[in-house]
């Protein structure tokens, strides 16, 4: 009797929707981190050892240590994200390890979350909720400007990075009858910009003119700390910063100082450095800083789509076929 072929082994650091995981389990031996807590680095290394495929998320760093520990049989890594800054892409290429990610499918959810942060910071939602819970509501009717916020209508919107997500945010905000939309980046994008009447400007011009500055660029070595003390000095003192990119793009100490001193008006952050943001972070003491737990893409529809695409990437990689969404 011939020996049955061995099923490829997959280690998943993240528990994904059941339907997608069941599809993977029919064809692979799957080990899943299904604890409530993230695995430690050592636990992840132990789980990756001897695996043919890995499913990861942005908090898992793919480097020489991980690839060496996994072993030469490792064929493919699927990251449950669009961003790739946690993966040593060049090393994966050298090792012949394919890498897949999840572009496009989370554009809508992330754009909606970006608009949500714009609205929540503009109308001071965090402070409003606190006023209700603390019983302040109803005690300050004599102050006509109590918790008065900013209107989006008639404002200048500045988008840093008019890629898929930046463009999707701009399209949604255009419906608020804004004054104009500015954008900046390494290159102009006339085809995308034309659909929303956006104007390409320098970074400094965008900072100086915008009422809302929305960070939607991908993170790389050239833009780490892009929003530093010098950048905040160029912004309007009523301007609101929204970041749905990566935490490293913003110097958080400089942001704290700018918010505390009134150099800028407010900030809405879905991404921070590190993640999770320690509860002792001074940013969390500020009433004009709203922080959400990097869950911009977190809708049922989007999470299911990300799972399906990740499973597709893993299965095609194990079969030696081109990935559905390759990182390179």
Cα separation, 4 vs 79, in Å, equals: 30
Cα separation, 120 vs 288, in Å, equals: 10
And the tokens for 152? 């989006």
Residue 303 vs residues 66, 89, 155: alpha-carbon distances, Å: 26, 24, 33
Cα separation, 164 vs 111, in Å, equals: 9
Positions marked catalytic = 294
3-state helix, strand, coil in the chain (%, to 5): 40, 15, 45
Q: What strands, in cross-sheet order, belong to the sheet with 289-291?
A: 199-200, 180-184, 156-160, 212-215, 240-243, 266-269, 289-291
3-class DSSP state of 176 = coil
Cα separation, 76 vs 73, in Å, equals: 9
Give the chain's end-to-end CA distance (angstroms, integer).
42
């Amino acid at each position: 009797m011939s020996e049955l072929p061995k099923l490829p082994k997959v280690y998943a650091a993240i528990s994904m929707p059941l339907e997608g995981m069941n599809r993977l389990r029919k064809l692979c031996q799957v080990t899943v981190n299904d604890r409530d807590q993230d695995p430690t680095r050592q636990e992840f290394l132990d789980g990756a050892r001897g695996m043919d495929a890995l499913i990861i998320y942005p908090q898992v760093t793919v480097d020489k240590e991980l690839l060496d520990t996994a072993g030469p049989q490792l064929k493919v890594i699927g990251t449950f994200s669009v961003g790739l800054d946690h993966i040593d892409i060049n090393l994966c290429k050298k090792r012949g390890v394919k890498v897949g990610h999840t572009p496009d499918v989370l554009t809508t959810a992330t754009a909606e979350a970006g608009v949500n942060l714009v609205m929540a910071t503009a109308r001071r939602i965090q402070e409003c909720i606190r006023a209700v819970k603390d019983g302040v509501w109803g005690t300050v009717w004599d102050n006509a400007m109590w918790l008065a916020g900013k209107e989006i209508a008639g404002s200048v919107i500045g988008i840093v990075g008019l890629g898929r997500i930046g463009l999707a945010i701009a399209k949604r905000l255009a419906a608020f009858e804004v004054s104009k939309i500015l954008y900046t980046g390494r290159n102009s994008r006339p085809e995308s910009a034309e659909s929303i009447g956006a104007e390409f400007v320098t970074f400094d011009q965008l900072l100086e003119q915008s009422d809302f500055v929305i960070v939607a660029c991908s993170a790389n070595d050239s833009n780490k700390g892009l929003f530093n003390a010098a950048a905040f000095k160029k912004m309007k003192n009523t301007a609101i910063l929204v970041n749905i990119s990566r935490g490293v793009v913003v110097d958080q100490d400089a942001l704290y100082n700018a918010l505390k001193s009134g150099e800028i008006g407010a900030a809405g952050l879905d991404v921070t450095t590190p993640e999770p943001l320690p509860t002792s972070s001074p940013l969390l003491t500020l009433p004009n800083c709203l922080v959400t737990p990097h869950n911009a893409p977190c809708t049922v529809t989007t999470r299911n789509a990300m799972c399906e695409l990740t499973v597709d990437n893993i299965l095609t990689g194990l079969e030696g076929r081109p990935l559905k969404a390759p990182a390179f």
